[in-house]
Chains A and B, each alone.
Chain A
Amino acid sequence: MNLLTSMGALPLLGALLIALLPAANSKLIKQAAFVISLLVAAVGFSAAFGFERNVTEFQYVERYSWIPGLGINYQLGVDGISLILILLSVVLVPIVILAGWNESENGRFSVKTFYVLILVLETMMIGVFAATDVFLFYVFFEAMLIPVYFLIGGYGSGARQAAAVKFLLYSLFGGLLMLASIIGLFVISGNQIGRTMDIEALSTLQIDSTTQNLLFLGFFIAFAIKAPLWPMHTWLPDAAKSATPGTSVLLLGVLDKVGTFGMIRYCIELFPDATRTFTPLIIVLSLISILYGAFLAIGQKDIKGLIAFTSISHFGFITLGIFAMTSQGHAGATLYMLNHGFSTAALFLTAGWMISRRGSSTIAEFGGLQRVTPILAWSFFIAGLSSLALPGLSSFVSEFLVLVGTYTRYPVAAIIATFGIILAALYILIPVQKALHGPTTPGNESLPDLNKREIAAIAPVIAIIIFFGFYPKPALDIINPAAIDTITRAGFSDPAPVVGGDK
């Protein structure tokens, strides 16, 4: 059964359906979008239940010839890593729709357009993770930019156009570099095994090291812009500040994961030798990202900017875990992608509600929310704690795995990265203290607390955060085989644990 195609096509068909609904009836449109996204999530879970945990090959494989003259296929399949990210996407979309029920109202375009864009984006997100043909991946990777561009530019706030354009140009630039690399791969495959873009076939190519390094860079820069890694991060804070909270959740929670996912799936699997060459450089960049993101987060006065910079720090951890090239690091990085998706979602959604209630996104304008709006304040607090990786919340497990995985190969890097955790406590607790505690800032006395719809949206996110904090096994069971497989196929093996000798 073509489960992946069905899952991907469902939101697209839903978008068509919504396009046919009367534009005036915005309530019906929202309900339809929500129901469709729930259906997609249901399909996603059925895929997860049917997934064979111990098989490392791609599952739910589909393959149809698309452009036979060029050997390009419409080819889908998932391993543990991509399945986890697809699940993250399909779970976040209904939450985003529910949480941001009214954020489509004041946009430049109609309410209808907003939900059409969101659903089209969902199709692209599923496609980008499920594609096992590099050409198909690229198509989704680039086409995805268009709905996001209109979501930021059309429904955001502040300098939304500039932010949308900046986002698009950065991404296009990276994408075009990747295109050059893809063309290179394509030509090399034509010379060696006959033209193909099948990822598994491409990973068997023998590429000389200079070419491999160049091709690797083409892919890596594109993904580093997406992820974003210092110094290619500057588009992210602008985009996150301008986009609606829901769009930001999808942008940071899912779209940026395409970058880290691409590093695993494409950079490492296709160019293992180049990976070896560039690993030290990338580890350094990751460490800079961790610390730089954390320091700038501490200095942020804008709550959305704060979350954006914390994300840059977190993406540093994810990249570190990936390029530590140990199975623990990989599993930790993938789990981190999942957890970061949910904790960022919780942060952005609660922050979005605070901002829409107060009419300002400056942290200093809040204060004493704990007394006025206890549910909102607690939600923000838990989200923040998850972001700083408090034990018992999901991010802790992944951050721990990343650090352990890194330490076995790069102890110094792991130690430096640990400072990121300390800084995290600062950048989360200071705003928590300013915004939630202390005397109630004048003007905030009568802010309403979360309503039922908002509680319904945030509750599952917090439940997931706590659940995976105590019991990450279901996710790790899916991730681990794929992580180990990636490491082995790239020719790395976990450093043998050093038995403490008698000294």
Chain B
Amino acid sequence: MTFQAPSLEYGALAPMLVIFGAAVIAVIVEAFISAKHRSAIQLAIALGAVVLSFAQVLNLRGTATATAATNSVVVDGPVLFMQGTILVLAFFAFLLLADTDAFAAQASAIPGSSEERVALQTGKIQTEIYPLTLFAVGGMMLFPAANDLITLFVALEVLSLPLYLMAGLSRRRRLLSQEAALKYFLLGAYSSAFFLFGAAFLYGYAGDVSLSSIGAAVNGGGTNEAFLLIGMISLSVGLLFKVGAAPFHAWTPDVYQGAPTPVTAFMAAATKVAAFGAMLRIFYVALGGAVWTWKPLITAVAILTMVVGSVIAIAQRDVKRMLAYSSIAHAGFLLTGVLALSQEGLESALFYLATYGFSTLGAFALVTLVRDSSGEVTDLNRWVGLAKRSPGVALLFATFLLSFAGIPLTAGFIGKFTIFTAAYDSGNIAVVVAGVLSSAIAAFFYIRVIVMMFFTDAQDDTVTVTIPSLYTNLTIWIAAIATIVLGVFPAPLLDAIASLAVFVR
């Protein structure tokens, strides 16, 4: 038996290869460069890799729609769009990460130990956050591009494992952060197991792991419907966990709250793109033929997710937890795009993901600015009267909230309009009505925050707003500008998506 080396289409894989290569280099840098220069070099590597990779994505734009690496990866329009989105979000996430005082000096040191203190005082600060993030970005880029169940699983793990670690790296409130990491890891491991279980059943059903073969088996009337059903449900559970859909959402608020805020920003914005990317591909390409089997189930999940996210968010007193529940509600809205199972559904979901990513990044970036002497202040009661002290921060935060709420002239509105249109067009009117009603509920807590910031007088003056560093400032402003511009002139992005968004089967 001869072993044949697989042919790899390096050109098509270039965007991911650049990121993974940079991640490996970053690990080496972490080991050999002195602490003094390390963070600057790491940042340069990370940003450079992202830019280079983005250039490769742009390069591939015209020539795309090909499978690569013996059919395990597909590079088509939606993939390129999602990879581009992830890279842009990652670029700004790196800028946020560059404000390193959010991270533990040494993740291995026990919280509160003298070791930790010494490390902080002597400036022996580890910067493993950069290679970890790079690996996660690479995994996220592979996830929506994966064309078979094995690659999907590998990508899922490559993107998840670094995130588990990153969630535990917070410098302040380290126990909370470590608890979040552990919780995320345990639940994530369960969901991975579900995913793998489902993958195994789908393999048993179709006799092949590639999505297109599964699609063909579904359309051709495969033999063992039970295998398909079990496989589909288990696989969905794994994916729904990643996007934070109810009833698999329980990790979201804890992890969002515990993780260092820049990591939360990255996670909330980019993971959603990757996970929904994979989900769209699986449901559109592999399981599209079985739509009548999964549609009722996913419809129920979508409605539940919207309602749970919007209703529980009302009770939150912590800004990060509130944003977490809001992200759950948005996952519900995005599921309506999956449910539409149409060209339009795909396009609107891509648009929604991009705009939501920007607003989320901006909102969490603003959270990093509101502090007292012991670090970030996430208790909403202490955000009261923020507009008086720093009208700029309050105004920008209000902009992002209004976009989440879907008020016209913000990107969130166009996103909601297009995605609900797609859902209505597919005949799924129940989801539209549920979406609209939960939007009304959601508006309540977004507005409550605006009221707190603008119309209530502050109780204590210990909360200050730090002057943002150039990096954070840039992120916030770009996010705000994107939120408004995409709300007023969405046409260019919508057209770009329309020209790209065809899945290769």
Contact of B407 among A67, A142, A150, A154 (CB under 8 A): A142
A residues 124-167 in Cβ contact with B at 8 Å: 135, 138-140, 142-143, 145-146, 150, 153-154, 160-161, 164-165
* Chain A positions 184 through 206: 1 when the CB is less than 8 Å from some CB of chain B, otherwise 0: 10110010000000000000000
Q: Is the interface of B mostly helix, strand, loop or mixed?
A: helix
Which of B63-71, B198-206, B431-439 lines the interface with chain A?
A: B431-439
Residues of chain B with a CB closer than 8 A to A184's CB: 424, 429, 432
A150 touching B454 in the complex, CB below 8 Å, given contacts A70-B418, A180-B420: yes
* Chain B positions 455 through 466: 1 when the CB is less than 8 Å from some CB of chain A, otherwise 0: 110000000000
B residues 83-124 in Cβ contact with A at 8 Å: none
A69 touching B454 in the complex, CB below 8 Å, given contacts A176-B436, A187-B421: no
Contact A146 B407 (CB under 8 A): yes
Q: Is B58 in the interface zone, CB < 8 Å from A?
A: no
Kindly provide the distance from the CB of B404 to the nearest chain A CB, expressed in whole angstroms.
Answer: 13
Contact A183 B421 (CB under 8 A): yes
Q: Is A108 in the interface zone, CB < 8 Å from B?
A: yes
B residues 449-505 in Cβ contact with A at 8 Å: 451, 454-456, 490-491, 494-495, 498
Contact of B408 among A108, A138, A180, A183 (CB under 8 A): A138
Q: Is A390 in the interface zone, CB < 8 Å from B?
A: no
Contact B456 A183 (CB under 8 A): no
Contact A67 B491 (CB under 8 A): yes
Q: Which residue of A lies closest to B497 (CB)?
A: A69
Residues of chain A with a CB closer than 8 A to B432's CB: 180, 183-184
Kindly provide the distance from the CB of B464 to the nearest chain A CB, expressed in whole angstroms.
Answer: 21
Contact B491 A183 (CB under 8 A): no
Q: Is B425 in the interface zone, CB < 8 Å from A?
A: yes
Contact A153 B455 (CB under 8 A): yes
Which of B42-50, B150-158, B440-448 lines the interface with chain A?
A: B440-448
Contact B443 A169 (CB under 8 A): yes
Q: Is B417 in the interface zone, CB < 8 Å from A?
A: yes
Residues of chain B with a CB closer than 8 A to A138's CB: 408
Kindly provide the distance from the CB of A487 to the nearest chain B CB, expressed in whole angstroms.
Answer: 31
Q: Which residue of B lies closest to A180 (CB)?
A: B436
Number of residues of chain B lying within 8 A (CB) of chain A: 34
Q: Which residue of A lies closest to B391 (CB)?
A: A109
Q: Is B193 in the interface zone, CB < 8 Å from A?
A: no
Q: Is A172 in the interface zone, CB < 8 Å from B?
A: yes
Residues of chain A with a CB closer than 8 A to B421's CB: 70, 183, 186-187
A139 to B432, CA, bound (A): 19
Contact B408 A68 (CB under 8 A): no
Q: Is B409 in the interface zone, CB < 8 Å from A?
A: yes
B residues 157-175 in Cβ contact with A at 8 Å: none
Q: Which residue of B lies closest to A66 (CB)?
A: B491
Contact A143 B408 (CB under 8 A): yes
Contact B424 A187 (CB under 8 A): yes
A154 to B409, CA, bound (A): 22
Contact A143 B417 (CB under 8 A): no
Contact A154 B417 (CB under 8 A): no
Q: Is A42 in the interface zone, CB < 8 Å from B?
A: no
A186 to B416, CA, bound (A): 14
A177 touching B436 in the complex, CB below 8 Å, given contacts A69-B494, A69-B495, A138-B408: yes
A residues 79-95 in Cβ contact with B at 8 Å: none
A68 touching B409 in the complex, CB below 8 Å, given contacts A154-B454, A173-B440: no
Contact B491 A69 (CB under 8 A): yes
Kindly provide the distance from the CB of B469 to the nearest chain A CB, expressed in whole angstroms.
Answer: 27
Contact B409 A139 (CB under 8 A): yes
Residues of chain B with a CB closer than 8 A to A165's CB: 447-448, 451
Contact B420 A143 (CB under 8 A): no
A432 to B429, CA, bound (A): 53
Q: Is A179 in the interface zone, CB < 8 Å from B?
A: yes
Kindly provide the distance from the CB of B247 to the nearest chain A CB, expressed in whole angstroms.
Answer: 25
Q: Is A168 in the interface zone, CB < 8 Å from B?
A: yes
Residues of chain B with a CB closer than 8 A to A173's CB: 440, 443
Kindly provide the distance from the CB of A168 to the nearest chain B CB, expressed in whole angstroms.
Answer: 6
Residues of chain B with a CB closer than 8 A to A69's CB: 491, 494-495, 498
A124 to B106, CA, bound (A): 54
A164 to B450, CA, bound (A): 12
Contact A169 B409 (CB under 8 A): no
A492 to B498, CA, bound (A): 43
Kindly provide the distance from the CB of A165 to the nearest chain B CB, expressed in whole angstroms.
Answer: 6
Q: Which residue of B lies closest to A171 (CB)?
A: B443
Contact B417 A183 (CB under 8 A): yes
Q: Which residue of B lies closest to A68 (CB)?
A: B491
Residues of chain B with a CB closer than 8 A to A176's CB: 436-437, 439-440, 443
Residues of chain A with a CB closer than 8 A to B436's CB: 176-177, 179-180
Kindly provide the distance from the CB of B313 to the nearest chain A CB, expressed in whole angstroms.
Answer: 15
Contact of A154 among B418, B455, B494 (CB under 8 A): B455
Contact A161 B425 (CB under 8 A): no
A69 to B455, CA, bound (A): 40
Contact of B447 among A108, A168, A186, A190 (CB under 8 A): A168
A108 to B458, CA, bound (A): 13
B residues 408-428 in Cβ contact with A at 8 Å: 408-409, 413-414, 416-418, 420-421, 424-425
Kindly provide the distance from the CB of A163 to the nearest chain B CB, expressed in whole angstroms.
Answer: 11
A177 to B448, CA, bound (A): 21
Contact B494 A172 (CB under 8 A): no
Residues of chain B with a CB closer than 8 A to A66's CB: 491
Contact of A164 among B405, B413, B440, B455 (CB under 8 A): B455
Residues of chain B with a CB closer than 8 A to A168's CB: 443, 447
Q: By CB atoms of chain B within 10 A, which of A142, A173, A183 has the most?
A: A183
A161 to B433, CA, bound (A): 29
In the A-B complex, list the 9 residue pairs whose CB atoms are closest, starting with the nearest: A139-B408, A161-B455, A180-B436, A69-B494, A142-B408, A173-B440, A176-B436, A187-B425, A187-B424
- B residues sitting closer than 8 Å to A (CB atoms) are 402, 405, 407-409, 413-414, 416-418, 420-421, 424-425, 429, 432-433, 436-437, 439-440, 443-444, 447-448, 451, 454-456, 490-491, 494-495, 498
25 sampled A-B residue pairs with Cβ under 8 A: A68-B491, A68-B495, A69-B498, A135-B417, A138-B408, A143-B407, A145-B407, A146-B402, A146-B407, A153-B451, A153-B455, A154-B454, A154-B455, A160-B455, A161-B455, A165-B448, A165-B451, A172-B440, A176-B439, A179-B417, A183-B424, A184-B429, A186-B421, A186-B424, A190-B425
- A residues sitting closer than 8 Å to B (CB atoms) are 66-70, 108, 135, 138-140, 142-143, 145-146, 150, 153-154, 160-161, 164-165, 168-169, 172-173, 176-177, 179-180, 183-184, 186-187, 190
Sample of 9 more A-B contacts, CB < 8 Å, known A146-B402, A160-B455:
A69-B495, A138-B408, A142-B408, A161-B451, A172-B440, A176-B437, A180-B420, A184-B424, A184-B432
